[in-house]
Structure 1
Amino acid sequence: MSEVKRIATRVSYGQTLAELGAEHDDIFVLDADLAASTQTGIFKKVFPERHIDCGIAEANMMSMAAGIASTGKTVFASSFAMFAAGRAFEQVRNSIGYSKLNVKIGATHAGVSVGEDGASHQCIEDMALMRAIPGMVVISPADDIEARAAVRAAYEYEGPVYLRLGRLAVPIINDHEDYKFELGKGVVLREGKDITIIATGLCVKEAVEATEKLVADGVDVNLINIHTVKPIDEDLVVEAAKKTKKVVTVEEHTVIGGLGSAVCDVLCRKAPSQVLKIGIQDIFGESGPALELLKKYELDAEGIYKQVNAFLSE
């Protein structure tokens, strides 16, 4: 059996930016001395006149992005999630969000899967921060195919977008002809009636594997991939909750303010349900191999399977 193809979504981001750059001359790409890591160097090599290295000055980069966007250009501003969402939050909020400018934030190296870089670089709060900014679209793609589609959708969308991308190479799971990416719309991966699992980002693949184990045990799982955390697909979430009564959310992010909170915000208003939020439980990450960290925080398939089983028995 051939090995499953794995690609980091940050690579998908860089490659798609270069493709878009060839198609649209209004695109400018900014980075903060991390072109190799964020993969914006791919764009820089082809279109050096439309790439600006802003140095290790992320807040300044966001202000520059806002200025360029105010002239009618589409700007992709890129850095690690910790710096793009954390260090530059004020500029993202006031210069980009408040002004509703056409800036797309390519935030790579999100979550604990950054690995050995440790807690200081493992941004697990970024979706919470970006969700709180009025009008900000938040996207967390699951694989290469979804990431490429998300970057293109971000370009087509008029307004600010936060793209959450990873360092770790992840398997491709959306390689089928009927796959369709649409902003604000979730993807049903499996219909079921016993319990709903809603996952985002790299956790989608782990949720798929956990679902296979649960189905083998006789549990009829309803599995959903939510790539757009904001605006979330409210109709799909409500429909699923009404059908299964129990809902599990899975994310490589703190359980405070991310996907789980977005789902609960919807359900408390429209379909009160039991919800289990699987994610980082109000603690910081730590240095270690990415896969070992996912296992430690029970974000791998076995950890998800274990937690869902416990939730089912309640």
Structure 2
Amino acid sequence: MAARPRSARRREDRMSTAAAQKPKLKTSAMIASIAAEGQRTKSAPFGHALVELAGARPDVIGMTADLGKYTDLHLFAKAYPERYYQMGMAEQLLMGAAAGLAKEGALPFATTYAVFASRRAYDFIHQTIAEDDLNVKIVCALPGLTTGYGPSHQATEDLALFRAMPNMTVIDPCDALEIEQAVPAIAAHKGPVYMRLLRGNVPLLLDEYDYKFELGKAKLLRDGRDVLVISSGIMTMRALEVAQALADDRVDVGVLHVPTIKPLDIATILREAGRSGRLVVVAENHTTIGGLGEAVATALLSAGVTPPFRQIALPDAFLDAGALPTLHERYGISTEAMAKTIKGWLG
């Protein structure tokens, strides 16, 4: 079972080196940046935020399973080598050790790829971290369709798995600003947290909306009379782009950003989705099964709020490998594909 991911990581090293030498390979399968050409970005927001947090909190520990460079934890390793633990290609050991350190009063940030945390280490997280409600922060790169390396690395069901785990808080940040703000916020929260991670050069856009991350809170970034898009993670960025694109067609799109998938801000969702006269669309970088869409649908039906409802999400399938722009268009989560889909629903 371990042979394929190990060889995949070695191939990733070679591909990353090649990409550094040839900028034109920007859309190759393993380049996980989702920033558009010319878009504002910030480099390694998680790594820098964790270094800053560690300066104020000596209990913060950085841990990884052979992926420090690919989760931006290398910055923490350089700043605080005595608090950095490289566990090797052993994700189960990573989570077990994080649990032990948390029991001794440390605040571990355990990083890996989302596929390895949600699939390979799930039982260890469930039994050693979540059941004891330990203060471990699990921060995972390559969530959903943010890599073109195929099913072995595409964590398209991670939110469903961690939503189902008792005691687990689940976060899906949108951009560099939110990651920077979420790091101290999840550190202040007592208990286990799973947070999706955008790494490398991460888009920066929420500063234009005077945004402030609050754990457990959804934020209306833009109001609109025709459509309300309820979204998380990179799909909030897409939703804002769609809103601008459809404005030219006189379609007014509102965007409700929901960075905390669990616990869900049901009150805000019901308030915004309950306003009459507009289509409600949930957009997520996750399979249609068990993610934000199903969580929102359950909340609406349970409260008797029944607006016209649609979902933009990844299919319940093993996805193809390839360049990210191609895959995002193929599976309907690019800006152009989303705009076309929503216009079609409006008739």
- Please give the alpha-carbon distance, in whole angstroms, between the structure 1 residues aligned to 2:316 and 2:38: 36
Q: Output the TM-score relative to the length of structure 2.
A: 0.85
State which drifts further: 44-53 or 214-223. Answer: 214-223
Q: Which residue does 1:6 correspond to in 2?
A: 41
- Aligned CA RMSD, in angstroms, stands at 1.6
Deviations 1:163-195 (A, max 9, x none): 101357442111247321101111111112222
Deviations 1:85-119 (A, max 9, x none): 2110001111111110000001111122212x222
> Of residues 235, 241, 263 in structure 2, which corresponds to 1:203?
235
**Does the CA-based 8 Å contact 1:96-1:103 persist in structure 2?**
yes
> Of residues 280, 284, 291 in structure 2, which corresponds to 1:258?
291
- Please give the alpha-carbon distance, in whole angstroms, between the structure 1 residues aligned to 2:192 and 2:343: 39
Deviations 1:229-270 (A, max 9, x none): 111111111111111453101111101111111111211111
Q: Which residue does 2:69 correspond to in 1?
A: 36
Is 1:227 the counterpart of 2:262? The answer is no
**Runs of 4 or more consecutive aligned structure 1 residues displaced over 6 Å after TM superposition:** none
Is 1:47 the counterpart of 2:59? The answer is no
Is 1:149 the counterpart of 2:210? The answer is no
Alignment of 1:126-165 (within 5 A): 126-165=158-197
Q: What amino acid sits opposite 1:212 in the alignment?
A: Q
**Does the CA-based 8 Å contact 2:209-2:221 persist in structure 1?**
no
**Does the CA-based 8 Å contact 1:113-1:294 persist in structure 2?**
no
Residue 34 of structure 1: CA displacement? 0.8
Q: Which residue does 2:318 correspond to in 1?
A: 284
Deviations 1:39-74 (A, max 9, x none): 111111111111111111101110110110011111
Number of aligned positions between the proteins: 309
Residues 1:288 and 1:177: Cα distance change in structure 2 (over 3 Å):
closer
**Does the CA-based 8 Å contact 1:27-1:74 persist in structure 2?**
yes
Q: What amino acid sits opposite 2:284 in the alignment?
A: E
Q: What amino acid sits opposite 2:58 in the alignment?
A: D
**Does the CA-based 8 Å contact 2:91-2:121 persist in structure 1?**
yes
Residue 121 of structure 1: SS of its match in structure 2?
coil
Q: What amino acid sits opposite 1:295 in the alignment?
A: E
Q: What amino acid sits opposite 1:134 in the alignment?
A: P
Residue 25 of structure 1: CA displacement? 0.2
State which drifts further: 135-144 or 304-313. Answer: 304-313
Q: What amino acid sits opposite 1:91 in the alignment?
A: F
**Does the CA-based 8 Å contact 1:113-1:293 persist in structure 2?**
no
Q: Which residue does 2:330 correspond to in 1?
A: 296
Q: What amino acid sits opposite 1:174 in the alignment?
A: L
**Does the CA-based 8 Å contact 1:222-1:240 persist in structure 2?**
no
> Of residues 218, 223, 240 in structure 1, which corresponds to 2:250?
218
- Identity, in percent, stands at 38
Q: Which residue does 1:311 correspond to in 2?
A: 345
Unaligned runs of 5+ in 2: 1-36
**Does the CA-based 8 Å contact 1:138-1:161 persist in structure 2?**
yes
Residue 106 of structure 1: SS of its match in structure 2?
strand
Residue 96 of structure 1: SS of its match in structure 2?
helix
Unaligned runs of 5+ in 1: none
Q: Which residue does 2:222 correspond to in 1?
A: 190
Q: Output the TM-score relative to the length of structure 1.
A: 0.94
- Please give the alpha-carbon distance, in whole angstroms, between the structure 2 residues aligned to 1:202 and 1:246: 21
> Of residues 76, 87, 91 in structure 2, which corresponds to 1:58?
91
- Please give the alpha-carbon distance, in whole angstroms, between the structure 2 residues aligned to 1:177 and 1:295: 27
Is 1:107 the counterpart of 2:140? The answer is yes
Residue 81 of structure 1: CA displacement? 0.2
- Please give the alpha-carbon distance, in whole angstroms, between the structure 2 residues aligned to 1:186 and 1:169: 25
Deviations 1:139-166 (A, max 9, x none): 1111100011111111111111111013
State which drifts further: 282-291 or 99-108. Answer: 282-291
Is 1:73 the counterpart of 2:106? The answer is yes
Q: What amino acid sits opposite 1:142 in the alignment?
A: C
Residues 1:177 and 1:309: Cα distance change in structure 2 (over 3 Å):
closer
Residue 61 of structure 1: SS of its match in structure 2?
helix
